[in-house]
């Protein structure tokens, strides 16, 4: 990872590529790399879909090494959804392959004139950027099936569906899993629309002939990796709950806690929760010959995913995540797993963020477009409207905020115009602080206070009270920003928060690879540094304190069953970045 590939899509005579030394980005990765490059090179006031924006793709610091679970890839840009900086990361094979190819980042800049659609093929010998209009308006599954015939199954694909081509603000970038399914998405913030605005349909990454990246101190690295894996396997969340039931293990937990946002955040409990829980889902998957345990990339030691087959035992989609099951399920009053799985398939196929799309559909239900609980209607909205780019599809594809504006809905759960995920901030007050203040817009992964509020990982902060939430969220946001830079899956947070020796093995893993001494302070400094760059960008893009707030209905409407409002004050929220 000693070089950066730049592709100028504006160049006269067609896209031009150049390779430069990674320089200051050589010891960085993931979110640190994308946010530093975006912060330095993208004008904060530019239109996110214009030539001035850049799409930065970066594997993590440990991607492409033998380090366990190091397959996260980060994509950064100015977000068409939030108008602020964006880093969205995903699993799948892309990070490992790109890192083994030696790239610290791909920077796609400019914008071609005309309507041609490009593909980018990268292998160890060359980078080929070519027009391929035969890929136009293909969704992800048919696109990857078509490309496999040309490029085989030993490569990784990063692609956009029709949502990205149509520049929808909820459009994602799909990364293929080990079996070449386009199921792992850089979902949030519309990064797929930015790729679409560059007219890049797909990036084919082929690491044939490449080796794993070699650590500076092989022995230390190997020892640390063994301890790290052991730490992950012995923690109840990463070692038991996630492998057995996937992220959807949370449905019952959150529902019992009264923090499961139901029918557009009107209640904290859903009567249909058990039917769509991780436990029910795993049972169904196994009974149909699917899998309840599956890794999104080679080298994953948690295997929180799965394979969801239809009634006839044929592959329908990967195991829907908790956030998806919630956004298309409880949030919409839908309690049928097959309906949710069908929606998950269409999200992946069209290439949209499952959180944004599910929340958008729920807001549309609140606006009377269809009824809450109408599963067939929800599928039709996605398959017949979003996938076809109809005007209604474009409203939904524009995200929950746009749906609210189009239909005059006043209860719109967004921060910085990005939809809230699956935890009600009135019952899980710590995550409310993260939603409000994250540089990314409402994002549970930006500082997952649910861990400490509900799962009692990394301590115990009462989820129902405002006390201690700002400090909790701040510390988690700093730590997460660093983890998002390593390429390691965020689920390592459970063992490293609870087990000091596993945190030490993470430090040793990084230290052993780069041949440096790494302390907890270094991790914190990295996190703060990246967050500061992101916050500076957002400020220049026009964000101020009023943007670090939840929608006012979280203060005025009490959520059953606890009948609480969000209690963290504006003044306290403004303290999150005072460190």
Out of 47, 124, 154, 456, point to the residue binding its own copies (CB under 8 A). Answer: 47
CB of residue 41 vs its own copies: minimum separation in angstroms?
15
- Under the binding rule (CB under 8 A), the answer on residue 546 touching its own copies is yes
Q: Are strands 103-109 and 3-8 parallel, antiparallel or unpaired?
A: parallel
Which helix (H) or strand (E) covers residue 57, if one does?
A: strand 54-59
- Under the binding rule (CB under 8 A), the answer on residue 207 touching its own copies is no
Task: For residues 16 and 6, give the distance between their C-alpha atoms in angstroms, rounded to a whole number.
Answer: 8
Question: Toward its own copies, which CB reaches closer, 80 or 447?
Answer: 80
Tokens 């894996």: give the residue: 229
Out of 229, 392, 464, 524, point to the residue binding its own copies (CB under 8 A). Answer: 392
Task: For residues 354 and 32, give the distance between their C-alpha atoms in angstroms, rounded to a whole number.
Answer: 25
345-376 as b/e: b if 16+ CB within 10 A: bbbbbbbbbbbbbbbbbbbbbbbebbebebbe
CB of residue 111 vs its own copies: minimum separation in angstroms?
9
Task: For residues 495 and 458, give the distance between their C-alpha atoms in angstroms, rounded to a whole number.
Answer: 9
Tokens 């859903």: give the residue: 270
CB of residue 91 vs its own copies: minimum separation in angstroms?
28
Omega into 340 within 30° of 0, i.e. cis? Answer: no
CB of residue 199 vs its own copies: minimum separation in angstroms?
12
Question: Toward its own copies, which CB reaches closer, 14 or 43?
Answer: 43
CA 356 to chain centre: 11
- Under the binding rule (CB under 8 A), the answer on residue 390 touching its own copies is yes
Which helix (H) or strand (E) covers residue 146, if one does?
A: helix 140-151
**Among the residue ranges 386-394, 461-469, 478-486, 508-516, the one whose residues contact its own copies (CB under 8 A):** 386-394
Q: Return the residues of window 170-199 that contact its own copies according to CB under 8 A.
A: 193, 196-197
- Under the binding rule (CB under 8 A), the answer on residue 506 touching its own copies is no
Question: Toward its own copies, which CB reaches closer, 119 or 394?
Answer: 394
Q: Return the residues of window 315-374 that contact its own copies according to CB under 8 A.
A: none
- Other Cβ atoms less than 10 A from the Cβ of 490: the count is 18
Rama region for 247: left / alpha / beta (φ>0; ψ in -120 to 50; rest): alpha
**Among the residue ranges 58-66, 97-105, 391-399, 425-433, the one whose residues contact its own copies (CB under 8 A):** 391-399
Q: Return the residues of window 250-279 that contact its own copies according to CB under 8 A.
A: none
- Under the binding rule (CB under 8 A), the answer on residue 167 touching its own copies is yes
CB of residue 513 vs its own copies: minimum separation in angstroms?
40
Q: Is 563 exposed, middle or buried (0-12, 13-18, 19+ CB in 10 A)?
A: exposed
Max intra-chain CA distance, the chain: 63
Q: Is 486 exposed, middle or buried (0-12, 13-18, 19+ CB in 10 A)?
A: buried
CB of residue 173 vs its own copies: minimum separation in angstroms?
16
**Among the residue ranges 28-36, 247-255, 302-310, 385-393, the one whose residues contact its own copies (CB under 8 A):** 385-393
- Under the binding rule (CB under 8 A), the answer on residue 50 touching its own copies is yes
Out of 398, 425, 432, 511, point to the residue binding its own copies (CB under 8 A). Answer: 398
- Under the binding rule (CB under 8 A), the answer on residue 535 touching its own copies is no
Task: Write the interaction track for its own copies spanning residues 112-151; mark x where CB under 8 A is met and - where it is not.
Answer: ----------------------------------------
Q: Which value, to the nearest 10 degrees, does the dihedral of the CA atoms of residues 293, 296, 302, 306 take?
A: -20
Q: How many residues of this chain interact with its own copies, rule: CB under 8 A?
A: 41
Question: Toward its own copies, which CB reaches closer, 98 or 541?
Answer: 541
Out of 234, 377, 540, 557, point to the residue binding its own copies (CB under 8 A). Answer: 540
**Among the residue ranges 136-144, 233-241, 507-515, 548-556, the one whose residues contact its own copies (CB under 8 A):** 548-556
374: Cα within 13 Å, side-chain hemisphere: 15
Question: Toward its own copies, which CB reaches closer, 236 or 545?
Answer: 545
Out of 314, 552, 563, 569, point to the residue binding its own copies (CB under 8 A). Answer: 552
39-67 as b/e: b if 16+ CB within 10 A: beebebeeebbebbbbbbbbbbbbbbbbb
Question: Toward its own copies, which CB reaches closer, 45 or 283?
Answer: 45
- Other Cβ atoms less than 10 A from the Cβ of 467: the count is 14
CB of residue 175 vs its own copies: minimum separation in angstroms?
23
- Under the binding rule (CB under 8 A), the answer on residue 402 touching its own copies is yes
- Under the binding rule (CB under 8 A), the answer on residue 410 touching its own copies is yes
**Among the residue ranges 212-220, 248-256, 395-403, 425-433, the one whose residues contact its own copies (CB under 8 A):** 395-403
Task: For residues 191 and 228, give the distance between their C-alpha atoms in angstroms, rounded to a whole number.
Answer: 32
Q: Are strands 173-175 and 184-186 parallel, antiparallel or unpaired?
A: antiparallel
Out of 57, 104, 173, 395, point to the residue binding its own copies (CB under 8 A). Answer: 395
- Under the binding rule (CB under 8 A), the answer on residue 542 touching its own copies is yes
- Under the binding rule (CB under 8 A), the answer on residue 168 touching its own copies is yes
Task: For residues 202 and 139, give the distance between their C-alpha atoms in angstroms, rounded to a whole number.
Answer: 11
Nearest 5°: the CA angle 303, 242, 522 is 85
SS3 190: helix
- Under the binding rule (CB under 8 A), the answer on residue 49 touching its own copies is yes
Cα 340 to Cα 12, 39, 227, 264, 316, distances in angstroms: 46, 37, 38, 16, 11
Which helix (H) or strand (E) covers residue 103, if one does?
A: strand 103-109
DSSP for 485-546, please give it: HHT--GGGHHHHHH-HHHHHHHHHHHHHHHTS---HHHHHHHHHHHHHHHHHHHHHTT--GG
Out of 316, 420, 541, 573, point to the residue binding its own copies (CB under 8 A). Answer: 541
Task: Write the interaction track for its own copies spanning residues 52-81; mark x where CB under 8 A is met and - where it is not.
Answer: x---------------------------x-
Task: For residues 97 and 377, give the distance between their C-alpha atoms in angstroms, rounded to a whole number.
Answer: 40
- Under the binding rule (CB under 8 A), the answer on residue 571 touching its own copies is no
Residues binding its own copies (CB under 8 A): 43-47, 49-50, 52, 80, 166-169, 193, 196-197, 390-392, 394-395, 398, 402, 405-408, 410-412, 540-542, 544-547, 549, 551-553
């Amino acid at each position: 990872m000693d070089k950066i590939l730049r592709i100028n899509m504006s160049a006269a005579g067609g896209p031009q590529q150049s390779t430069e030394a990674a320089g200051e980005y050589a010891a960085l990765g993931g979110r640190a790399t994308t946010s530093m490059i975006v912060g330095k090179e993208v004008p904060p006031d530019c239109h996110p879909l214009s030539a001035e924006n850049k799409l930065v793709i970066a594997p993590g610091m440990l991607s492409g090494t033998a380090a366990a679970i190091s397959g996260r890839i980060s994509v950064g840009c100015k977000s068409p959804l939030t108008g602020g900086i964006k880093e969205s990361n995903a699993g799948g094979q892309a990070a490992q392959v790109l890192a083994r190819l030696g790239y610290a980042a791909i920077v796609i800049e400019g914008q071609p004139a005309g309507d041609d659609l490009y593909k980018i093929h990268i292998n160890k010998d060359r980078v080929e950027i070519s027009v391929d209009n035969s890929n136009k308006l293909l969704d992800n599954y048919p696109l990857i099936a078509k490309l496999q015939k040309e490029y085989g199954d030993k490569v990784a694909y990063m692609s956009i569906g029709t949502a990205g081509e149509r520049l929808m603000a909820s459009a994602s970038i799909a990364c293929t899993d080990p079996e070449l399914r386009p199921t792992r998405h850089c979902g949030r913030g519309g990064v797929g629309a930015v790729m679409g605005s560059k007219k890049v349909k797909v990036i084919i990454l082929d690491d044939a002939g490449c080796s794993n990246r070699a650590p500076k101190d092989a022995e230390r690295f190997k020892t640390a990796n063994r301890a790290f894996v052991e730490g992950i396997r012995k923690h109840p969340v990463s070692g038991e709950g996630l492998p057995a039931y996937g992220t959807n293990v949370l449905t019952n937990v959150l529902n019992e806690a009264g923090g499961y946002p139901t029918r557009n955040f009107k209640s904290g409990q859903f009567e249909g929760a058990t039917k769509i829980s991780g436990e029910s889902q795993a049972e169904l998957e196994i009974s149909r010959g699917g899998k309840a345990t599956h890794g999104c990339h080679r080298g994953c030691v948690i295997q929180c995913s799965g394979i969801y087959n239809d009634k006839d035992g044929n592959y329908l989609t990967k195991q829907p995540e908790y956030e998806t099951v919630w956004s298309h399920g409880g949030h919409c009053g839908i309690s049928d797993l097959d309906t949710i799985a069908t929606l998950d398939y269409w999200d992946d196929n069209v290439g949209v963020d499952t959180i944004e799309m599910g929340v958008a559909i729920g807001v549309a239900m609140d606006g009377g477009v269809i009824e809450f609980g109408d599963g067939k209607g929800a599928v039709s909205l996605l398959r017949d409207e979003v996938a076809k780019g109809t005007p209604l599809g474009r409203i939904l594809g524009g995200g929950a905020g746009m749906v609210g504006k189009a239909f005059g809905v006043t209860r719109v759960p967004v921060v910085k115009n990005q939809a809230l995920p699956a935890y009600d901030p009135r019952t899980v007050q710590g995550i409310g602080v993260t939603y409000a203040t994250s540089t990314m817009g409402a994002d549970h992964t930006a500082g997952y206070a649910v861990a400490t509020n509900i799962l009692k990982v990394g301590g115990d902060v009462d989820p129902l009270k405002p006390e201690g939430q700002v400090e909790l969220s701040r510390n988690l946001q700093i730590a997460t920003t660093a983890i998002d830079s390593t390429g390691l899956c965020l689920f390592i947070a459970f063992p490293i928060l609870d087990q000091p020796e596993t945190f030490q093995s993470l430090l040793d893993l990084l230290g052993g690879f780069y041949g440096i001494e790494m302390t907890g302070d270094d991790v914190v400094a990295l996190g703060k540094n990246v967050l500061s760059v992101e916050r500076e960008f957002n400020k220049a893009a026009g964000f101020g304190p009023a943007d670090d707030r939840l929608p006012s209905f979280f203060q005025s409407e009490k959520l059953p069953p606890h009948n609480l409002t969000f209690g963290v004050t504006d003044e306290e929220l403004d303290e999150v970045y005072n460190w």
